[in-house]
Structure formats: C-alpha cells, structure tokens
Amino acid sequence: MNKNIHITNSLDAISQCLSLGASEFVMSTGARNAELIYSILNINNLEYYSHPDERSASFFALGRTLSTHKPVVILTTSGTAVAELLPACIEAYYQSAPLILLTADRPTRYQNSGAPQSINQIDIFGQYAETDSHKWKYNQPLHINVHLEEPNLKSLNLNTLNHSNISPSINDETSSNTKLLEDFFDTDETINIIVGTLSTELRKPVLRFIEQSNCPTYAESVSGLREKISSLQPSEINAERILRIGGIPSCRFWRDLEDNEEIKVLSVTQNSLPGLSRQSDVINSVNWNNVKIRRRSNISTSSTESERIDDLLKKHPNSEPSFIRKISEIIPNNSMVFLGNSLPIREWQFAATQSDKGNDFYANRGVNGIDGNISTFLGISKDYNNSFGIFGDLTTIYDLNSLWFLEQINKTNVHIFVINNGGGKIFDHVKSLEGTPDFIMNTIKNSHTLDFSSWAQMWNLDYSLIQNISDLNDLNSNRSVVEIRPNDNDTYKFWDEFKNR
C-alpha cells in the first residue's frame, strides 16, 4: 500500500501536491520544512503565502480552497506545529474542502523517543483527514506527512519535480441519488425546502430547482439565495416533509426536528452527514439540472413578521439587529460578505436587507467554531475587489494575528466590522440558560470591556468607533476596522418585544 505517511523525500512530497492539482501553498516556516519551502519558492507559477502561526495559516488556506474550489496546501514544520492544524482540518472536513496538510516530520527512528519536536504525527488527524492520496476524493482534507533528515538545500534537484496538474472531480453524482430525490417529491404531502451553506458553483442550479419546484423555501444567508427568493421566516417553516440542501441550518426549526420524527427529512449535502441523530435520509450530490419533478401548488400564507421586524428596527435604532440592517445596506453590490460567527449569522438572517445586491456570502459553519474566522475571511478575500467581514468581539479576539496576511492580498479592499457587545451575547438566547445567576452568565459569556482601536493601529488600518447608527455611513477608505458598540438597552428591548408579541 502506497501511503503518504512513508514519504521521506521533500521533492516527492511537493511533486505529489502538484500532481493532485495544488498550485497554492500557505507556509508556516521552520528548519524541518526548509527543503519544502525552498522547493516551493523556486517553482514558477505557484502562489504562496506565509504566516508564523500555523492555526491562522491553516484557516487562511481553508479560505483559499473555499474560494477556488481547488486543493490548497498548508505546510508546517514538525511537532506541536502540526497539532495547530486540527481546528481548520475539522472545519474543512465538515465543509468537504480539499485542504492538503503537508507536515514535515523527523525521521521515523525518532518516534516515541521524546527528542525535541518529535511527536507521533502519523494519523494525528484521525477520521478528519485521508492519508492515502490514491483514495482521496477531494471532498475532505488529505494529510501528507514527510519524514526528513536535517535540511540540505544544496542537494535538491528541482528538475525532478512533476508539474502536471490533475483537475479534481469533487462531485460523485449517481442516478440513484437523483431517483431518491424525485421519489421524495412524488407525494401529496406538503414540502418545505431549507437551504444551508452552499458553495458558489451550486447556487444557480439549486436556485433553478427551487423555482421549478415552487416549494416554500427558507434560505439562510450563507446559501447565497436568501435575497434571491421570497424566503420564509424560520417561524413560517411548516410541512410534512423537509428537503435540506447544503450545510446544517442554524434555525431552531432544524434542531426541533430531533423530536418531530413524523416529519420526513431528506438532506442533499456533500459530506453525506444527516445533521440529525434521528432517522432521516441523506445523499451526497445530485445533478440539479437532471432532476424531474412536478411543479407543486404553493399555497402562500400572508405574514406580518417582516413588517414587525422593520417596525422594531425603527423603534430601537441602536440595537444590535438595527446595526446589522444598516451594515447590510451600506455594503456595495458584488462584494464578498463573511459572517462570523454565531450571533452575526443569526442576526444577518433576521435583520439584513432583502435587496439582492449580487453579493457572495461565506461562513465557517462546518463546526460553527469561532476560531480562525478572520483568517478564513482573508483567504477568500483575495479573489474579490471588496470584502466585508462581520465578526463578534470574541471571534475577533480569537484571531487577532490573522491580519498578518493583509499585505499578501494587497489588491483587495478589506473592511472588518467588529460587533463589540462585551462578550458572548449569543448565550442570552439559549433557553436552557434562562434564569442563570449573573455572575455565572458573565463567566459563560466571557464578559469584557476591551476595545479594538489598538488592534487596528497595530496593522495600520483606519479605525472608527460607532455607537449611534446615524454615524454609520458609506466607507471611504480601502481598509478599515469599524467597531460597533450597540446599545444594550435597545438590544434587550428589541428582543424582548419581538419574543413577547
């Protein structure tokens, strides 16, 4: 068996990455991976980036592969540097992203010796990464571990490198998948569609399918379809069957399906995971253009929820949802918008403008973690003229050194909105925590009084502090940090009035 874990030559490792279709490398440097770095820097037509922190670097690489839909390599030295890749590896696994983890290792004789920078790197990522390139299907991370002696740059012969690229075939559609989907629609029972995170290349065919089906649809912002259809509000989802397309939805209805087993659920998602512990069906892909279903009668019901939301936004102009609405209005057309993570995603879904501006939406919703969000955002940003990230304060604190990448994507206008509400206010919306004493909630929420002015100054970014919504206007600079401090009282009243209608 030809396993990657047996590679002992740096040029063989680079050749393998090239043959798998990789043309971008993100490097966290060290002595052990010096030969690999030397090889990368001396090959024409490769793009490369560097960052001293492997965790940030790996999330940036994830952003690159999410944007390009191609394999991107994250390269590290040995030891704990490899362990830093695990969070991004897990996120890539659940987003079905072809992230290649190229890790330098000490020779095998050092394993279990306790020698410096010697840990057992073989299978360190467990189920979250394939280790055999011949079995890799480009729908999860691949780990290439290279056992190397001390670097000897003078001995490298770059002429032995293989430059041939293989275009990945990520989708594995079968006719049986299409038949299962068609059978799911062959019923008189009511059907709603829920659309979670979608990769950009799937958005148009899925939109055509939704329009063809005429089914009431709830589209989350990260699907890229929220503004393109008349999306249901979460409270309006009501059907005997649910078709979920894409990633796991963030709406409460999806979680409540655990206890509503009479509702039949079919998921179409690349990672083949149902997202529910109860019985449901799942398929990993279909050719949306080949699906044949009858157009259903859509019995629309009048709803006043959108009007109620608009009224509350006007009534409480400095609440957090009102700031989200204003941000969504001032972001220009054809921009990239990254939402990170829990509360900004939910508030954008709830309060952002419904106007279709042609924007592309992204988020790290594979595992829903708050780590590496800004790094992922910057990785995606490289392919857009205008990029806007909306992040919670704790999410930002988790990734402060991510801005190291800014000078390496210097053609992009980057604007970062930090919603600084003094901690993890998402926990105020968790029903099971209602009534918890304040001193415990303050610990759970990581309450703080920090501001982000010095962070912006450190990276030479324009900075503004906004506490009144009338001061939030169009952005004139190319790169900026905009710190939003919503009024806690306005925010409390907004949600209290909305929930207690």
pLDDT by residue (tens digit) across 375-423? Answer: 999 999 999 999 999 999 999 999 999 999 999 998 789 999 999 999 9
Percent of the chain with pLDDT over 90: 82
Q: Judge if 286 and 309 occupy the same domain.
A: no
CATH number of 269's domain: 3.40.50.1220
Asked whether residue 137 falls in the same domain as residue 22, the answer is yes
Q: Last residue of a domain, which of 134, 160, 186? A: 160
Same domain, residue pair 395 and 492:
yes
Q: Which tokens belong to 246?
A: 């894409």
> What pLDDT, on a 0 to 100 scale, did the predictor assign at position 173?
56
Within-domain flag for 169: no
Number of CB atoms found within 10 A of residue 52's CB = 12
d(CA 337, CA 327): 11
Tokens of 168: 């990945």
- Give residue 174's pLDDT: 66
Q: Name the pTM for this structure.
A: 0.94
Which region among 97-101, 155-159, 267-271 has the lowest average model confidence (pLDDT)?
A: 155-159
pLDDT for 166 beyond 60: no
Confidence of residue 302 (pLDDT cuts 50, 70, 90): low
Whose CA is closest to 492, among 320, 323, 313? 320
Q: What is the average pLDDT score of the chain?
A: 92
Is residue 232 situated within a structural domain?
yes
CA distance 184 to 415: 43
Q: What is the pLDDT of residue 2?
A: 45
Quote the CA–CA distance of 124 and 20 in Å, as a whole number.
22
**Does residue 298 lie in a domain region?**
no
350, 482: one domain: yes
Domain end: 99, 131, 160, which one? 160
Residues 57 and 28 sit within 8 Å (Cβ to Cβ) = yes
Cross-sheet strand order for the sheet of 336-340: 360-362, 336-340, 386-392, 413-419, 479-484, 462-466
One domain for residues 314 and 283? no
User: Is 340 in the same domain as 200?
Assistant: no
Residue 314 placed within a domain: yes
Overall domain count for the chain: 3
Sheet holding 24-27, edge to edge: 47-50, 24-27, 72-76, 99-105, 142-147
- Tens of pLDDT along 5-36? 568 789 999 999 999 999 999 999 999 999 99
Buried b (16+ CB within 10 A) or exposed e, 409-440: beebbbbbbbbbbbbbbbbbeeeeeeeeeeee
DSSP class of 87: H
In a domain, 407, yes or no: yes
For residues 138-144, average pLDDT: 97
CATH of the domain at 421: 3.40.50.970
Instruction: Choose the final residue of a domain: 160, 190, 205.
Output: 160
Does 134 lie in the same domain as 11?
Answer: yes
Angstrom distances, CA of residue 244 to CA of 98, 208, 222, 386 = 23, 15, 14, 31
In a domain, 473, yes or no: yes
Q: Are residues 259 and 318 in the same domain?
A: no
Angle at which helix 305-315 crosses helix 342-351, to 10 degrees, equals 110
In a domain, 195, yes or no: yes
pLDDT tens digits, residue range 28-60?
Answer: 999 999 999 999 999 989 999 999 999 999 999
Residue 136 domain boundaries: 4-160
Query: 328 with 469, same domain?
Result: yes
Shared-domain flag, residues 217 and 323: no
Does some domain include residue 35?
yes
Cα three-residue angle 193-198-203, rounded to 5 degrees: 80
Residues 102 and 243 in one domain: no
Q: Tell me how far CA of residue 293 lies from CA of 139, 185, 312, 466, 480, in angstroms.
A: 28, 7, 40, 50, 48
283, 329: one domain: no
Q: Tell me the H-state helices in 281-319.
A: 305-315
287 HSE (CA, 13 A, CB side): 8
